[in-house]
A and B are shown apart, each in its own frame.
Chain A
């Protein structure tokens, strides 16, 4: 069953249009690694060239902000991760 990773619609071009992907891992970082293995295009969407999470990305676990140290946050079977991004438009 794993962890449910909700994909923002701007990133779904990298997930074959899927709005949710199952991933395995004990923390957010491991789940995102598994997500990238399944959908390599998500790597560039989420991480910069140095491998750091892009500044624009926001991560929520079970609808709660995972900031700071998002990638280290522990997750359990059945948890939900939402990947979204900061908006600036007005």
Chain B
């Protein structure tokens, strides 16, 4: 177990006081290795809160450079960062937020040829992408590696989240009907702030082993109505990602 130092005990005192966390939970967070796909609207709050919570190692991957149109929601990146690789910008902010954790940022496109190597050695995958094909690629990779996958997505004032435990719960692909046209989606920053915080909460709960995860539950957030709605989802026995026969010829 990763023992906590005196500075760490002081830094995380307010969450160690939570009965469900305690020193044991904080040690689990310190030992955890989290992979975050995307340093944008969702990746910003996810990485900020997981770094602040003391997750021991975080790798964040993003291929893009900061654009002025990102700044309404991607709070890791500031005006001075326009034109800078998001990975570099994220690393600079998160390292300053919590210098005690191992923080790594990679500027790369997540593709079938590199995804296994990118996530190798990590305990879980957090989905903070902005397109469905990469989300599905990460979903499949998580199932193949038997590690959990924390999904979140946003549109406008709306968002959703679910947690996938391989071959136990419905996965992102279980309700797949076919490709969906890509779009430049509308979004206001508070939507990914809410959904990203939910994803980070799920990650913390899973690492420590507390609470009830969003298993087989799609939580839908409507910021305009200020309402959360929960839908039940089920594993698809014919799912090409997570069925027992998937991946077999």
Contact = CB atoms under 8 A, between A and B. Distances in A.
Interface of A: 9-10, 53, 55-56, 58, 60, 63-65, 67-68, 82, 84, 86-90
A56 B232 CA distance: 18
A56 B185 CA distance: 14
21 contacts: A9-B222, A55-B177, A58-B175, A63-B229, A63-B231, A63-B232, A64-B231, A65-B175, A65-B231, A82-B229, A86-B175, A87-B158, A88-B135, A88-B182, A89-B154, A89-B155, A89-B187, A90-B38, A90-B40, A90-B127, A90-B192
Contacts of B155: 87-89
B175 A67 contact: yes
A49 to B, nearest CB: 14
Interface of B: 38, 40-43, 127-132, 135, 152-156, 158-160, 174-175, 177-180, 182-183, 185, 187, 192, 218, 220, 222, 224, 229-234, 236
Contacts of A86: 132, 153, 175, 180
B231 A82 contact: yes
Contact of B42 (A55, A84, A90): A90
Contacts of B130: 88-90
Contact of B236 (A55, A67, A87): A67
A76 to B, nearest CB: 18
Nearest to A89: B185
Contacts of A63: 229-232
Nearest to A62: B232
